[in-house]
Amino acid sequence: MTIVPKGYRFGVAAAGFKKADRNDLGLILSIGPAVAAGVFTTNRFQAAPVLVCKELLAESPVARAIVVNSGQANACTGDEGLANCRATLEIVSEFARVRPEEILPASTGVIGAQLKMDLWASAALKLGGSLGRATAMDVAKAMMTTDSFPKLSTRSVQLEGGEVRLLGMCKGAGMICPTMATMLGFVICDVDVEPKAWREMLSFCADRSFNALTVDGDTSTNDTVIALANGASRVRAESKADLALLRACMLEVCQELSYRIVQDAEGGTKVAHIAVTGAKSHPQAELAARAIGNSPLVKTALFGCDPNWGRIVAALGRSGADFNPMDVVLKIGGILVFEKGQPSPEDLDALLAPCMRHQDVKIELCIGPGNGEFTLLASDLTKRYVEINADYRT
């Protein structure tokens, strides 16, 4: 059963932005003001909804709603795109009965096209009419593009003053190698919490979840994660113990969503858990992990269930991480593969064949005596991925 935080309603509508008769507009509405936080793409070409959302959060730490559309990214659309984004908030505000500046926008879809503004008014009417009848799952489905399934995660946690609930949803399957978040992700909670603590919590969790995965090495123009906390539970998170429990709960939600993104990678069949330890620093470990996780040769070997460890150490060697090659120890599926500059003398193909057939493949690299570590989730690269992206606009 889906655990839904108190004080939120959901709405969806089929606007026809890309396909007819498919919900492609969603609304998450808090019954009262909610503390809001956001993390956004570091791509220099930031979409209009990203720029508007950042502007709204800079002006106020409180919001009432999130509106999300699929099918139109509203990215690289200039001043007209910014004006259109603000106009959509005006349109939605009329039916959501909140002020435009209380709505945080998010969009996903093809880059470059202007929003189909003629469709927004009728869609917003449908959106308002569905409030209270639609579910969180409906919104998760409405924000999908190339996703093969909706991604939803819920948790509850017992704090000193009582139970609070968290619900997270996201979309993403391709153009995924964020430096903050996934394509689009939303976390809602009914806890009462200070804005500063909420912002720090989201940043911490995004770094260890959405920012620790890769599908194809591409960071989108629209990457956005927004978190709302409306206090409807009347449970205050203030003590260090409560804040730690709440943060741990949010991290579980975000990490589950991150796993599902990699699991749903466009045409993907594998989830590689690349754990680098022993680096001179955490950033050094991240360099190493990302070089391996983004390597087309490593990813295609995963798809082919080929235990080609040479591709892993070669990617590590060009990663830019500082290490002594003689210190490197590589294990795949817990089996020692490489150490002291050479492979294990065992029959590695035979030993590794069973674990390479699993959906989840563990790749562990100790690259020295340091304290730096980083774990990255990465997908394989398949024929289906090429087909999906070759035909994306058609």
Sequence spans of domains, the chain: 8-263, 271-390
Please report the pLDDT score of residue 180 as a whole number: 47
What residues are annotated to the active site?
182
CATH class of 271-390: alpha beta
* Averaged pLDDT, 16-35: 94
Q: Which spans in 188-274 are helix H?
A: 195-207, 240-263
Listed ranges 77-81, 106-110, 125-129; the one with the highest mean pLDDT: 77-81
Please list, in sequence order, all residues whose beta carbon lies within 8 angstroms of the beta carbon of residue 100, skipping any fewer than 6 positions away: 86, 89, 90, 92, 93
Which amino acid appears at position 25 of this protein? L
pLDDT digits (tens, 9 = 90+) for 224-249: 999 999 999 999 999 999 999 999 99
Counting Cβ atoms within 10 Å, is residue 97 exposed (0-12), middle (13-18) or buried (19+)? exposed
Q: In this predicted structure, which of 107-111, 180-184, 257-261 has the lowest mean pLDDT?
A: 180-184
Which amino acid appears at position 361 of this protein? V
For domain 8-263, give its CATH number from 1.25.10.10, 3.90.1150.10, 3.60.70.12, 3.40.50.970.
Answer: 3.60.70.12
- The string over 60-95, giving b where at least 16 C-beta atoms fall within 10 Å of a residue's C-beta and e elsewhere, is ebbbbbbbbbbbbbbbebeeebbebbbebbebbbeb
**Coil, helix or strand at residue 55:** helix
Same fold, 8-263 and 271-390: no
pLDDT digits (tens, 9 = 90+) for 113-147: 999 999 998 899 999 999 989 999 999 999 998 88
Give the integer Cα–Cα distance in Å for 116 and 120.
Answer: 7
Q: Which spans in 60-158 are helix H?
A: 78-96, 117-130, 136-142
Give the integer Cα–Cα distance in Å for 218 and 288.
Answer: 17
Listed ranges 128-132, 161-165, 267-271, 349-353; the one with the highest mean pLDDT: 161-165
* Averaged pLDDT, 76-99: 96
The mean pLDDT value of the chain amounts to 93
Dmax (CA) of the chain: 70
Tally: H helices and E strands in the chain: 11, 15
Please report the pLDDT score of residue 265 as a whole number: 82
